[in-house]
Amino acid sequence: MVSTEAFVCSFSENNLPQNAVFTWKSPSNIALVKYWGKTEPQIPKNASISFTLNNCNTVTTVSFEQKEPSENQNIEILFERKPAPSFLPKIRQFIDRILPYSPYLNYYHLKISTENTFPHSSGIASSASGMAALAMCFMSLEKQMNLDISDDYFYQKASFLARLGSGSAARSIKGNLVVWGEHPQIPKSSNLYGIEFPFQVHSNFKDYQDTILLVDKGEKQVSSTVGHNLMHAHPFADNRFKQANQNLSVLSQVLQNGDLSEFIRIVESEALSLHAMMMTSNPYFILMKTNTLQIIEKIWEFRKSTNTHICFTLDAGANVHVLYPFKEKKKVKSFILKELVPFCQKNQYICDRLGQGSELML
Ligand code: DP6
């Protein structure tokens, strides 16, 4: 088992480049088995698995400029080319957390310029793609100082660092199915970083589609931090963590044997279980909107009457991810446009599909 010590970078001050600039594009991901509940430091209470997306990305450039370690670190942040000081506390906290593993960061002032390829206030989580893209930029600097590090280590440590920024970011480094969290039936799975799903995936899941219906584009009603915390004193928490691990056992088989009906059963049940946990916490929350439920009902009717394999999943919010196989795209897409998009805020939706993971741009 890999331990946290494996991720401590030792370096020589003589090897530090004076300046460096890297740009990475990192995708968002959608969990099929959900991560909801954690302990310090960002250790999940159960294993989770996600589809890496292709079109919802954060593109981040980090410019490093050398400084004395004793000198205060300047961090300048631009979001969509405009100063964004409100991002600073989260990024400082992230850097403080990863400094024991990447101490070279203390030798640099940072200029971070970031933007999303999806609308900012769309309710799509940008913390996963955002933290992943930052972690990739930091790892590129580490690689420049130490050319010997292997690709495996490079991506594993990137996921390890990203996790310390946001748990789900651990699953935004690689494509296209990523497991994060130790699980007895997934070899080499770890609580510390995400791994690519280690088995052959059935062709039914090749190029799987995800149309994201933007039902509510507002600020998240419950932040992830608050939501995860509510799991601590939750009366059903232990059973929920067991259920998630069992669902991952079944889903692992399903992804290999291509059983789409079983896929739908697990994925929809996971989404509803996540929301059920929020409805039964203290305080309690309903994160769906009326239109979320209308969409779910429409999906169920359509599936029944057409025998297609359309299904839904949800994040901790009101938006709906509509999942379906590539070969049903034509039929499902016209249903979505006609019957589901009218339930979206300003008719907005995003067409996405399985993606390959983070990509170096510069
Ligand atoms: C509902 O990764 O946003 O999307 O670790 O506190 O940053 P932090 O939480 P975050 O939680 C994601 C929760 C989820 C389910 C999932 O992606 O697995």
Give the pLDDT score at 10: 83
For a substitution probing ligand 1, which of 43, 168, 240, 314 has the most ligand atoms within 8 Å of its CB? Answer: 168
Question: Which pLDDT does position 121 carry in this prediction?
Answer: 62
**The predicted structure's pLDDT at residue 335:** 98
Query: Are 241 and 45 in contact, with CB atoms under 8 Å apart?
Result: yes
Find the CATH number of the domain harbouring 223: 3.30.70.890
Please give the single-letter amino acid code of residue 292.
Answer: T
Total count of domains within the chain: 2
Which tokens in the block code for residue 192? 């510390």
360 domain residue, yes or no: no
Q: How many other C-beta atoms can be found within 10 angstroms of the C-beta atom of residue 86?
A: 9
Distance CA 164, CA 323 (A): 29
Which residue do the tokens 């067991």 mark? 242
| Concatenated DSSP letters of 235-274 | TTHHHHHHHHHHHHHHHHHHHHHT-HHHHHHHHHHHHHHH
The token pair at 332 is 């499902």
Q: What is the mean pLDDT of each run of 10 residues along the chain (362 residues)?
A: 89 91 98 97 98 97 96 95 94 96 97 90 77 98 92 97 98 97 98 98 97 86 91 97 98 98 98 98 96 98 97 96 98 98 95 98 85
Q: Classify residue 358: in a domain, yes or no.
A: no
- What's the pLDDT score for residue 126? 77
Measured in angstroms, how far is the CA atom of residue 353 from the centroid of ligand 1?
20
Shared-domain flag, residues 121 and 211: no
Closest ligand 1 atom, residue 29 Cα:
17
Q: How far is the CA of 241 from the centre of ligand 1 (A)?
A: 14
The reply to whether ligand 1 has any atom less than 6 angstroms from the CB of 315 is yes
CATH number of the domain to which 60 belongs: 3.30.230.10
Long-range contacts of 181-188 (CB under 8 A, 24+ apart): 181/35, 181/44, 181/46, 181/47, 181/48, 182/47, 183/47, 183/245, 183/248, 183/249, 185/248, 185/249, 185/252, 186/47, 186/248, 186/252
Q: Residue 209: helix, strand or coil by DSSP?
A: strand
Q: Check if 228 has its Cβ closer than 6 Å to any atom of ligand 1.
A: yes
Same-domain check for residues 42 and 159: yes
34 lines ligand 1 (CB under 6 A): yes
pLDDT at res. 122: 61
Residue 189 structure tokens: 């799975």
Tell whether 194 and 254 lie within a shared domain. no
The pLDDT value recorded for residue 43 is 98
Q: Is the CB of 225 under 6 A from ligand 1?
A: yes
Ligand 1 centroid to Cα of residue 37, in Å, is 9
Residues 212 and 172 in one domain: no
Q: Which residues pair with 194 in a beta bridge?
A: 180
Ligand 1 nearest-atom number relative to CA 42: 5
What atom in ligand 1 is closest to the CA of residue 228? 6
Q: Where is the domain boundary, 174, 200, 226?
A: 200
| Torsion angle (degrees, nearest 10) of CA 156, 159, 161, 164 | -140
40 and 165 co-located in one domain: yes
Looking up tokens 């999806």 gives: 118
For residue 36, give the ligand 1 atom closest to its CA. Answer: 13
The Cα 277–Cα 201 span in angstroms is 30
Domain assignment present for residue 329? The answer is yes
The residue among 161, 179, 200 that closes a domain is 200
Q: How far is the CA of 248 from the centre of ligand 1 (A)?
A: 17
Token code pair at residue 229: 């915390």
CB-CB contact of 165 with 127 (8 Å): yes
Which of 35, 159, 179, 320 gets mutated to test ligand 1 (max ligand atoms within 8 A of its CB)?
A: 35
**Residue whose CA is at the smallest distance from ligand 1 atom 12:** 168
| Alpha carbon of 18 to ligand 1 centroid (Å) | 36
**Predicted local confidence at residue 119, as pLDDT:** 74
Q: Does 224 share its domain with 167?
A: no
pTM, 2 dp:
0.96
Closest atom of ligand 1 to 125 CA is 3
| Helix-then-strand count for the chain, H and E | 8, 14
The residue out of 200, 222, 249 marking a domain boundary is: 200
Query: How much distance in Å is there from the Cα of 25 to the middle of ligand 1?
Result: 20
My answer on whether 239 and 265 are in the same domain is: yes
Res 221: pLDDT? 81
* Phi-psi region at 14: left, alpha or beta (left = phi > 0; alpha = psi -120 to 50): alpha
Are residues 178 and 259 located together in one domain of the fold? no
Domain around 15: 4-200
Q: Does residue 191 share a domain with residue 54? A: yes
